[in-house]
Structure 1
Amino acid sequence: MGKTAESVWGNCLSFIEDNITPQAYKTWFSPIKAVKLSDAALSIQVPSKFFYEWLEEHYVKILKVALTKELGETAKLVYVIKMENTYGNKQPFTERIPSEKPSNVGNQQVDVPVKHKDPELKNPFVIPGIRNVKIESQLNPRYNFESFLEGDSNRLARSAGLAVSNKPGGTSFNPLLVFGGVGLGKTHLAHAIGVQIKEHYPERTVLYISAEKFTQQYIESVKKNNRNDFIHFYQLIDVLIVDDIQLLSGKAGTQDVFFHIFNHLHQNGKQVILTSDKAPVDMQDIEQRLLSRFKWGLSAELQQPDFETRISIIKNKLFRDGVEMPEEIIEFLANNIKTNIRELEGAIISLIAHSSFNKREITLDLAKKIVDNYVKNTKREVSIDYIQKVVSDYFQMDVDTLQSKTRKRHIVQARQLAMFFAKKLTKASLASIGSQIGSRDHATVLHACKTVDNLASTDKQFRKFVEDLDKKLTM
């Protein structure tokens, strides 16, 4: 039997897996698919240009060794970039012969300088009447990469952030959109990128702003009839960081002005970094032309941290505060506050404060009281795994059956109900829900939610399913 793309890539992966860390393998090699083999050229599909660039920069030597072992000295590697339905990516693939000096094939950045920097331009961050063209970055230096600990839940977003901060405007992930639930570190990461860019490139103009403040400034500029000054000011920025971009939802005028600013910055090789609590595909009332631009670069999700990452976060916080805490209490906190890093850090601060103010030792009992307050005061978010288990038990099937490809009506309905409750009760994106419930895409999840809504309003028995499951999941 001759060699196939899958068999050649499978052998390469076995060799690579033996020579790099499991986390690196999981992040950078598991998502790759072998596409075709033609003579000594192996085509592999990568999720984005970001992956291609990262592989070229960090793993080109090992790829060369693995491929040469399989296909001989004339081996070639062709990267096929999985295209999204957007207009920004112009090249469907990039071909490389692995060498020890990677080149930026297919990633030509032209840095066009902004002309006519007018010193009379009004800076919306300055009190009216005071002339000052110096732009303060509005960054918080406490939010840096050192305190943004790496884990499986944030590795892609953190790596992308580091790459952007080393080469702002010079990578294919422009814009970089970081999205995820409340308290998972989006704002921290956005500031960390800005802080590191200022360290590496002090002459660059970096500006952090919330979408809400951007909207207020725009409204003010319209009132005062200086909309053009407002646009020109933002066109002078080298690195623009906009937090909570989903808040532009429904604001047509602000979206229009942001569209023009974004286009100017992007065309001039300037870097745009955005954060959102939703993936682009889930954003409501944002114009299609903006959404398509958000997808030009990389959308990286921050997920809930796993147990090991939560332990690291607690230990890092205690170390920075110069506090010691018994291991059993650290584990208790990590086991009981799972959904939100902000809550986890808040619980630690409360525990230290109670201990020092009341001159009491930090004990497990005290930790339980603090955690009880946090869990009572915050609605517990159920996990997608838990939802799948509850739905499977209710319909007397196992989770594997629920996730299977079968089209049997009762199994399809159970799967659709799991997707419906995952969207309702978690902050996960549609794409994330789909990938966890049987490797479906976001469109399948959207269809499932609409189907459940329709059936619940027309079918009494189905409505009972929804009500029963709702009680079980929200008790």
Structure 2
Amino acid sequence: MTANDLSVWLRAREFIKKELDNDHVFSIWFGSIRLVSSTEDSVTLEVQNKFFKDMLLDRYTKLINSSIAKSCGKEMRVEFALKETSADAAAKPPLDHDAKEKAQAKPFWPFSRDKQEPGKEIGLNSKYTFDSFVIGPSNRFAHAASSAVCDSPAKAYNPLFIYGGVGLGKTHLMHAIGHKVLQKFPKAKVLYISSEEFTNQLIGAIQNRTTTKFREKYRHVDILLIDDIHFIAGKESTQEEFFHTFNTLYDAHKQIVVSSDRPPKEIQALEERLVSRFEWGLVTDVQPPDFETRMAILKKKSERETITLPDDVYYFLAEKIKSNIRELEGALIRIVAYAKLVGKEISVDMVKDVLKDMIKEGEKKITIDIIQKKVCEYFDMKLSDMKVKKRSRGIAYPRQIAMYLARQLTDYSLPEIGEYFGGRDHTTVMHAYDKIMTDLKVKKGLNELIDRVTDSIKIS
């Protein structure tokens, strides 16, 4: 590989750095990438591990491709090679040869010296572990990120920011991180707390003039897990205190994990300096679980509670309760409790009666307007793009997906669907439906995409 080949990536890096306009994010995600080979029409970049590769593909594909195209003066195929061979390898710190033996002898993470007493001030729920967490397409990325944090605390993914709706597993993952870190690093100091409790304790410390003690508690831990950070939005004193707590921990190479019901930029009245810091590391989301994951969640919960239900009951629950995991598990416990109290055998008819309030609330009429809106949100399109005559793939394919979903999820006729899409002919709708049906059989990842969009439509 020539010096000229290397300059391709060096120039591309500069384009990426300028576009990101954030030196910290650039350093984390692009600082360690190197060019390992190139041909006339392709370049191969080496990345740390599979998780790192997936992150780049998910978040930065367009940026990387466009930057390399600018650097080369033409479109190039970009491929990734893994530095580590294990598909599930976590992000590990680079070790020089001389330090290898020492690093193997003791953990690299700079944990606190005082041993944490079991159960003292850590606030973890013993039920929320990685073993009890059900992995599916809706949470796979967040789960992988959480696992990586446990293997390499305070390295690439610091802070880790997990967002998503109520009852989708954010809190579960945070507790699981705490438990796993304590298993790997028994002397680590781990603290889980909700941002509401953080605020209340701060108010109490100010009133009682014990702010020094308050700061010692939160700034002398190895990993801080703070839930529902959106609660501090608009609370100036709390944000000020948390800002300095964050800086102290981060500068001391301590791990910070934060959760919210929305991404940092969408939290109104949250100071920009906090938004910026939350985006330093990795921001990932959890979505409503798909049908298969809901089934697995029910089976897992039944196993833990030593419950056995007929398969058709599991199927009915998974089909009808789609909004979040908490409701799903709550419904299971509710019907089992009812059956025990009244001495009835559990059946679908009994479940329909016991859960009629939950099921009725969950059944909403799906309209083409909702479908178009959700597809546009997913693909970051304008709603007007659903009706225009543009045929560029970036618009045409999402529009075909929306037509497919309109036929799958509504009772509208083909001509009626066509009218919603700018007065298109029914044959256009039929072609779109057939194309997506064919692609679902051959395109890897399309099924997951359709499931995600469908779930967002059904809970809207």
CA gap 1:100/1:261 in 2 versus in 1, 3 angstroms? same
Note closer, same or farther for the CA distance 1:405–1:205 as it changes in structure 2 (3 Å cut).
Answer: farther
Asked if the contact 1:185–1:302 (Cα under 8 Å) also holds between the matched residues in 2, the reply is: yes
**Quick check: 1:343 aligned with 2:327?**
yes
TM-score, normalised by the number of residues in structure 2: 0.61
User: How far apart, CA to CA, are the structure 2 residues paired with 1:383 and 1:261?
Assistant: 46
TM-score (norm 1): 0.59
Amino acid of the residue matched to residue 192 of structure 2?
Y
Which residue of the partner structure matches residue 319 of structure 1? 303
Q: CA deviation at 1:288?
A: 0.4
Give me the whole-angstrom Cα distance separating, in 2, the residues matched to 1:45 and 1:224. Answer: 56
1:140 maps to: 125
1:53 CA drift (Å):
3.7
Q: What is the count of residue pairs matched by the alignment? A: 328
Relative to structure 1, the CA distance from residue 234 to residue 155 in structure 2 (aligned partners, 3 Å threshold; closer, same or farther) is same
Structure 1 unmatched ranges of 5 or more: 6-34, 47-51, 60-77, 86-94, 118-131, 393-398, 419-472
Q: 1:386 to 1:353 in 2, by over 3 A?
A: farther
**Structure 1 pair 371–385 and aligned structure 2 pair: CA distance change class (3 A):** farther
Give secondary structure in 1 for the equivalent of 2:300: helix
Do residues 298 (structure 1) and 293 (structure 2) align? Answer: no
1:274 aligns with 2:269: no
SS in 2 for 1:324: coil
Query: What is the match of residue 371 of structure 2?
Result: 388
Matched, 1:55 2:39: no
Q: Kindly report which structure 2 residues correspond to 1:53-92, keeping only aligned pairs within 5 A, or say none.
A: 53-55=48-50, 82=60
For residues 404 and 203 of structure 1, what CA distance do their matches in structure 2 show? 61
Distance change (3 Å), C-alpha of 1:176 and 1:45: farther
Distance 2:147 2:188 in 1: 17
CA separation of 1:251/1:43 partners in 2, compared to 1, >3 Å: closer, same or farther?
farther
Shift of 1:364: 1.1
| C-alpha distance in 2 between matches for 1:375 and 1:80 | 35
1:180–1:276 contact (8 Å) kept in structure 2: yes
SS class of match (1:178): strand
1:205 aligns with one of 171, 184, 189: 189
User: What is the identity, as a one-letter code, of the residue corresponding to 1:387?
Assistant: I
How far does residue 232 in structure 1 lie from its aligned partner after superposition? 2.6
Structure 2 Cα separation of the partners of residues 160 and 474 of structure 1: 26
**Cα 1:41/1:104, change in 2 over 3 Å:** farther
Contact 1:45 1:80 (8 Å CA) reproduced? no
Change in 2 beyond 3 A, CA 1:404/1:222: farther
Equivalent-residue separation in structure 2 for 1:359 and 1:391 (angstroms): 44
Distance 1:267 1:285 in 2: 25
Partner of 1:157: 142
- How far off is 1:281 after superposition? 1.8
Measure how far apart 1:42 and its partner are.
5.3
Pairwise CA RMSD: 4.6
CA contact (8 A) 1:184 1:304 kept: yes
Amino acid aligned to 2:122: S
In structure 1, distance between residues paired with 2:53 and 2:328 = 34
* Equivalent in the alignment of 1:284: 268
8 Å Cα contact 1:43-1:79 kept in structure 2? no
TM superposition shift of 1:257: 0.8
CA 1:96/1:313 → structure 2, altered by over 3 Å: closer, same or farther?
A: closer
| Pair 282,341 (structure 1): closer, same or farther in 2 beyond 3 Å | same
Identical residues among aligned pairs (%): 35
Letter in 2 for 1:363: S
Contact 1:135/1:205, CA 8 A, preserved across alignment? no
CA–CA distance in structure 1, aligned partners of residues 243 and 218 of structure 2: 12
> Which amino acid in 2 is paired with 1:316?
K
1:357 Cα shift?
Answer: 1.1
Unmatched tracts of structure 2, length 5 or more:
6-34, 64-79, 97-106, 376-382, 403-457
Q: Distance in 1 between matches of 2:459 and 2:323?
A: 16
